[in-house]
Structure 1
């Protein structure tokens, strides 16, 4: 049975947050004083796998990405990866790469070969201001080690006007000789991240900036891709833009989310959640809850108004109370 919503979108991708804690404090992701869940509030390894298996076996989910928080902070992350890899899905993991050196070989052997890695700057001092932690060198060294290992890497860059928009070309330069996929992400609104439409460096501006220096070609995207992909002519890697703010891609969305405490969200910006974990722990069948959650999915942006300048106050008023870190990237 496929999970199809009222807007005729069939869902094949599941993002599972396995922890809400993080060893960075990125300004666009969380407030500095973010409070985290207790261990007993998190899904256990067995619960993560039971829920994932149901999505795969009953609903045909073919792609799972583990997120956080920082998933590498889970002591059993390698075991979870091994369990999920056995389901035969396209498996990935999103990380800030701070502790990647401690897990890289074990993750590879467990069956993980796809990483989404967050890096917003090449400047150590700027990294410290954005992440509120002085760990740039460690992160960059770990990214290079993962690339050398053979990991397929998507490098995620949240572009913020006046903060790091001057580094776009340097990130594109990474794709000259490396099979890297660099993804520029428009700055999105979440609770506590001081979003303002004026701080959004737009998709059109990014392409204009890159195009003023490089000739690039548009590549074919997966029908459900969040990113619009390009390649500088003759270069090995690719770059892309995720234009959630200025050109949302809700019409082709095939993604569902589970938070670290087992709540299902049908959109990154959803204001309603379904508590799967409590029902699972009571021994109830969670399938009806999953199906109802999908049917309740809004046509666009979780029911929020468009992220236009004149709608800014309305957007900020209607946001979910969750910061990005507690949703799962």
Structure 2
């Protein structure tokens, strides 16, 4: 097992396979979108498989595929199959916005995908259109239905902002009453190309207070090891709810994850500005042992938390989340 310089295990890779997305969520990117990268700048699937194989040999056991939106990249299903065949990788999970995913769910089930995180900030079609700048809610709900019908563990991720979709908190909570899903509410982060909206920010404590007002039986659950969410049960609900303090950064002390962006930048913390270019290393270094040594060196100099990582950046946070990996 890999351990960082603070004694934390590292066994979880979040791998962004593309910076492209078919939505334009305002908390993630500007309305006009971003300048998407030319294909040669992105890691190829073959390079990703080599990288994940090396990391699995070092102790990575879980991979989450993110984007952008993963399923806008061609040949994703073949790539997922390759990941599942890597010795040492025990779980492959996916985060998706669900626009293109519904027809693929039976094959995801057959592949043995462990779980899917579905981004869904509102159940109101007009508000969905306002937030994502696309009218795609029906397709997202089709994906939710397909995931549940196929018995794939499903988590719903909702970024909450006051005056934008805070009125959707309780309708989303009610999904966990009728369905066996985990609904997680996420603090807004500054990764939208322009920084955090301070007036709209809702802290994790404020979100929980709002839920508790409507659901007095809200009870804290014991969280899984390295969980980023604080999770709660509600009497009579099949599923559960949780909050992710993504901006408050309360879970850094147990962080077991690293990130690789679509261009191959290694991030040992979401809030750093990249610590290593794996893409160029993969393209120039044939010796896997040397690559592993450089990875270990990067893992051995992690910041203690997101605040330290942000303070060490060469510039203020300004990038879009779609260039990092959701």
After TM superposition, the score normalised by the length of structure 1 is: 0.92
In structure 1, the gaps of 5 or more residues are 307-313
CA deviations 1:233-283 (Å, max 9, x no partner) are 232101100012235211111110111111111011112331111111113
CA gap 1:191/1:170 in 2 versus in 1, 3 angstroms: closer
After TM superposition, the score normalised by the length of structure 2 is: 0.92
Separation (CA, whole Å) in 2 of partners of 1:237 and 1:168: 15
CA contact (8 A) 1:18 1:74 kept: yes
1:196 aligns with 2:197: yes
Match of 1:322 in 2: 319
Match of 2:225 in 1: 223
SS of the aligned residue for 1:182 comes to strand
Match of 1:234 in 2: 236
Separation (CA, whole Å) in 1 of partners of 2:78 and 2:249: 38
CA contact (8 A) 2:195 2:317 kept: no
1:39 aligns with 2:28: no
Q: How many residue pairs end up in the alignment?
A: 319
What are the equivalent positions in structure 2 for 1:224-303 lying under 5 Å apart? Answer: 224-246=226-248, 248-284=250-286, 285-301=290-306, 303=308
CA contact (8 A) 2:194 2:318 kept: no
Separation (CA, whole Å) in 2 of partners of 1:191 and 1:211: 30
1:25 aligns with 2:24: yes
SS of the aligned residue for 2:179 comes to coil
Shift in Å at residue 190 of structure 1? 1.6
SS of the aligned residue for 1:319 comes to coil
Give the CA RMSD over aligned residues. 1.9
Separation (CA, whole Å) in 1 of partners of 2:41 and 2:105: 27
CA contact (8 A) 2:13 2:62 kept: yes
Shift in Å at residue 177 of structure 1? 2.5
Separation (CA, whole Å) in 1 of partners of 2:205 and 2:285: 50
Separation (CA, whole Å) in 2 of partners of 1:300 and 1:191: 21
SS of the aligned residue for 2:14 comes to strand
CA gap 1:247/1:18 in 2 versus in 1, 3 angstroms: closer
In structure 2, the gaps of 5 or more residues are none
Separation (CA, whole Å) in 1 of partners of 2:2 and 2:316: 26
